[in-house]
Structure 1
Amino acid sequence: MEDKCHIDMLGLMILCSLLTGTSGGTDMFISDGGNIRLLCGRAPAGCKSTTWQYSRGISSGTVVLFENGMKENGIERGERLSLGSDCSLYIYKATTEDRGHYTCWQDEDKRFNASVHLHVLHVSPSSTQTEIRPGSSFTLSCQLYVYNGWSCYNFFNVEGVQLVWVNKAGVNLKPDPRFQISSSPQHCIITLTTTLLNEDNNTEWRCQITDTTDKVKTSVSYTVTYLVNSSDNKTSVRLLLRVIIFIIEIAVLTTPTVILLLIICERRADNRRRGQDTQETVMELQMM
């Protein structure tokens, strides 16, 4: 009963902090597919008094991930979560589903040791994209999936966070006239649209999130790869077959001629040898 009351009280405290906006959580950012470590502060021996909890948003409730240093059974994403020797929470191959509010609690301290709001950056081509090849219009969408208790508008306009498209060298693409950059701060989205060129194959474009000092919090890249059209592939195969057939035909037609020439050359050489032998015999008879 005492344990149950303790967990209920803990959940109530988290809920109150979310409602009042005084959770004092640290904002952390991770790219889709990346790994991240959430610190829990002072680490007791063996983490036996450590509890990690998670909440997607104010209305989604709280889920216990680790209790008394042990992973809870049957939790979603369980195979991608682990507890470090210092009681840190490790999240592997993050997805947009990992965004949320994470809290670490040490029973013996009777207080929160960590409160983290995790946000995940994700990039994908437009859902209407039908082909990726030179001459086609191409659109990439970059979205920051934030903890559901946060407003994207306040996040970008009050805290000064920005989403930016850059090339592999880190140069901002917005001033380049061949790129159309548009953003929707209320939805935490920035898009890049351009007409693909031949040299864009295997080109990397990167979406990154920066703070007011232009420090990069995290980034995620997309590499353009041209796909070979099936009809083009068939045409290439047909051309290759024609070349092979042509080579075979040339070989078949020229082989007898080559053999005949070799025979003629050999006979002429043999005749020259015979003629030379005859001449030498005549000279020897005359000398006698």
Structure 2
Amino acid sequence: MAHKCHLCLLGLIALSSHLTGSSGEDETHVFISSGENVRLPCNNALHDCKSTTWNCNRHSAAVELIARGIIMKHIESHERLSLGSDCSLNIRNISKEDYGSYSCRQYENDKQQGTDSRVFLHVLHVSSSQTEISAGRSMTLSCLLYSYAVVSCGDWIRSERIELFWVNQAGVKLRRSDSRYQISAPGHCISSLTTTLLNEDHNREWRCNVTQSDQVKTSVTYTVKSSAWIVSMN
């Protein structure tokens, strides 16, 4: 399993906020929605990327993705990886399995130089429990933030002032008091939206947002398509 990391629960625009860890490592948090492309910065890059190694850690299983500037071909999703000119790690078409802790490490003459530049990648994903959707049917959408956190999800969300919530097409936050919607939080990093679809819901959008200190970090839109009631993810 370690060699398959899937690139390392807790997505539109990747935004980051820089923090300093107690270990002295440089830390960055990046929020992204599934299906998007993301750039993970390497803040300790030297004169060229031949000294750069990228590792991924998920569930305490460390996997080497890039060694001395070379992509490891045995990694299952290596075709989605590339190295930027500034030694940043680029990942295309992010999936929920890509969440995790990534570290950029520098070597010279086989000796590590300085401390790691660490990036925590948080992936937002929305799914529906229904395979057939039509007017009159009940639909439940689940919005999950996949994140690699040292503390529990609940503690991390509270300490970093993270919030998951739903908005309608006009960007208005949906409230639990609205009789048309049933909004619940089965876990600290998940928010569920249940509603009975109406005829006018053709092409209607519902969006799940993630904010930190009231600033939107990323979001995922779920659209009910017209014609055959086909659902698409954006």
- Give the TM-score normalised by the residue count of structure 1: 0.66
Return the alpha-carbon distance in structure 1 between the equivalents of residues 101 and 22 of structure 2.
12
Instruction: Note if contact 1:104-1:112 (Cα within 8 Å) is conserved in structure 2.
Output: no
Match of 2:157, SS state, is helix
Instruction: Note if contact 2:56-2:100 (Cα within 8 Å) is conserved in structure 1.
Output: yes
Inter-CA distance 156–185: structure 2 relative to 1 (3 Å threshold): farther
Please name the residue that 2:155 is paired with.
154
State the Cα distance separating 1:152 from its structure 2 match.
1.2
Return the alpha-carbon distance in structure 1 between the equivalents of residues 221 and 26 of structure 2.
31
Aligned counterparts, 1:154-233, within 5 A: 154-174=155-175, 175-186=177-188, 188-212=189-213, 214-225=214-225, 228=228
Return the alpha-carbon distance in structure 2 between the equivalents of residues 150 and 225 of structure 1.
39
Partner letter of residue 218 of structure 1? T
Match of 1:157, SS state, is helix
Instruction: Note if contact 2:53-2:105 (Cα within 8 Å) is conserved in structure 1.
Output: yes
Please name the residue that 2:30 is paired with.
28
1:121 to 113, 124, 129: 124
Structure 1: gaps of 5 or more residues: 1-19, 230-288
Please name the residue that 2:100 is paired with.
100
Choose between structure 1 and 2 for higher RCO, CA contacts under 8 A separated by at least 6 residues. Answer: 2
Partner letter of residue 131 of structure 1? E
Sequence identity (%):
51
Q: Give the superposed CA RMSD.
A: 2.2
Please name the residue that 1:72 is paired with.
72
Inter-CA distance 110–78: structure 2 relative to 1 (3 Å threshold): same
Cα deviation 1:109-142 (Å, max 9, x = unaligned): 722351011111100112xx25311111111110
Inter-CA distance 184–27: structure 2 relative to 1 (3 Å threshold): farther
Match of 1:131, SS state, is coil
**Structure with greater helix share of residues:** 1
Return the alpha-carbon distance in structure 2 between the equivalents of residues 44 and 96 of structure 1.
31
Extract structure 1 runs of 4+ deviating beyond 4 A: 20-24
Match of 2:48, SS state, is helix
Number of aligned residue pairs: give it. 204
Return the alpha-carbon distance in structure 1 between the equivalents of residues 206 and 114 of structure 2.
44
Match of 1:107, SS state, is strand
**Structure with greater strand share of residues:** 2
Matched, 1:89 2:89: yes
1:112 to 101, 111, 115: 115
Inter-CA distance 70–168: structure 2 relative to 1 (3 Å threshold): same
Please name the residue that 1:280 is paired with.
none
State the Cα distance separating 1:155 from its structure 2 match.
1.9
Return the alpha-carbon distance in structure 1 between the equivalents of residues 179 and 146 of structure 2.
28
Aligned counterparts, 1:266-277, within 5 A: none
Higher alpha-carbon Rg: 1
Return the alpha-carbon distance in structure 1 between the equivalents of residues 199 and 50 of structure 2.
58
Match of 1:62, SS state, is strand
Return the alpha-carbon distance in structure 1 between the equivalents of residues 27 and 47 of structure 2.
25
- Give the TM-score normalised by the residue count of structure 2: 0.80
Cα deviation 1:163-222 (Å, max 9, x = unaligned): 010112221012533111111344x1100011111111111111010012x111111111
